[in-house]
Amino acid sequence: MIYSNIFDTHAHYSDEKFDEDRDELLSSLPSLGVINVINCGCSLKSCKESIELSEKYDYFYCALGIHPSDITEDSYRELEQIKELYSYKKCVAIGEIGLEYHYDFIPKEIQLDIFEKQLILSKELDLPVIVHDREAHEDTMNLLKKYQPKGVVHCFSGSVEMAREVLKLGMYIGLGGAVTFKNARRPLEVAEMLPTDRLLLETDCPYMTPVPFRGKRNTSDLIIYTAEKLAEVKKTDTQELINNANNNARELFNI
């Protein structure tokens, strides 16, 4: 089945897993129905690369920020330099930012501080945030409630109850390949209750590859397997679900 209107709201095409064929791949995505991609920066280096990709490909936009797993002793200095980049015309969000408690090699206090600084910035700049929350639901919700930014909790892994709180804040929920995994009970429960006007589709490529390609490199065109699964759960047509998610992304990121 061929679909159109695909908006991948979360990709990492500066990842080295694309080094061998990046240009060839990115030139081919529009012919596979992909109309927009938001490439997320995670460090000063990948933020600059996200801007380069957005310059090169019309259909690309970028989000700029420091990912909790990419925090180093340089991050405070990098934050200052990234601040200078938000005026870039195709920068549509602050991301990827948040908390990573599964891999806990970065102290929580520093993660919380860097996340909070970027939430404050999102209010100053009036930009939406793209939030990473892995095994950090309570701390994530506390900060989101405190600052009430516009934005999305990406690769949502919380409960239905947490999803309700996120929706109450006016935020969106991003769902990707994880909904196709065998053990995907929670994200499917969330998908079921999620109003169609709050869902964003995403890949998080090269990671989170949907079934039947799990284990291989992810790319934006594979989002259709996620969309098909979600359409099945929500008892709707896949193209209609893709169209709705596309409209939601345009609304949130002001594209």
Between residues 8 and 204, which has the closer beta carbon with respect to Ni ion? 204
**137-147 vs 108-125: helix crossing angle, rounded to 10:** 30
Rounded CA separation 221/59 (Å): 14
Between residues 8 and 96, which has the closer beta carbon with respect to Ni ion? 96
Least distance to Ni ion from the beta carbon of 200, Å?
Answer: 13
Segment lying near Ni ion (by CB under 5 A), choices 103-111, 164-172, 199-207, 211-219: 199-207
* Residue 253 neighbours by CB under 8 Å, 6+ apart: 9, 38, 61, 92, 93, 128
E strands of the chain, at which residues?
6-11, 34-40, 60-64, 91-100, 129-134, 151-154, 172-175, 199-201
Name the DSSP letter for residue 117.
H
Least distance to Ni ion from the beta carbon of 114, Å?
Answer: 16
Question: Which one of residues 100, 204, 221, 228 is an interface residue with Ni ion (CB under 5 A)?
Answer: 204
Between residues 9 and 239, which has the closer beta carbon with respect to Ni ion? 9
Rounded CA separation 195/175 (Å): 13
Between residues 36 and 239, which has the closer beta carbon with respect to Ni ion? 36
78 binds Ni ion (CB under 5 A): no
Site string for Ni ion, 94-133 (x = CB under 5 A): --x-------------------------------------
Least distance to Ni ion from the beta carbon of 95, Å?
Answer: 8
Which is it for strands 172-175 and 199-201: parallel, antiparallel or unpaired? parallel
Between residues 205 and 231, which has the closer beta carbon with respect to Ni ion? 205
Radius of gyration of the chain (CA): 17
Choose among 99, 98, 149, 155: nearest CA to 125: 149
Least distance to Ni ion from the beta carbon of 44, Å?
Answer: 16
Rounded CA separation 32/108 (Å): 41
Least distance to Ni ion from the beta carbon of 2, Å?
Answer: 27
Least distance to Ni ion from the beta carbon of 236, Å?
Answer: 26
Between residues 96 and 228, which has the closer beta carbon with respect to Ni ion? 96
- Chain residues binding Ni ion by CB under 5 A are 96, 204
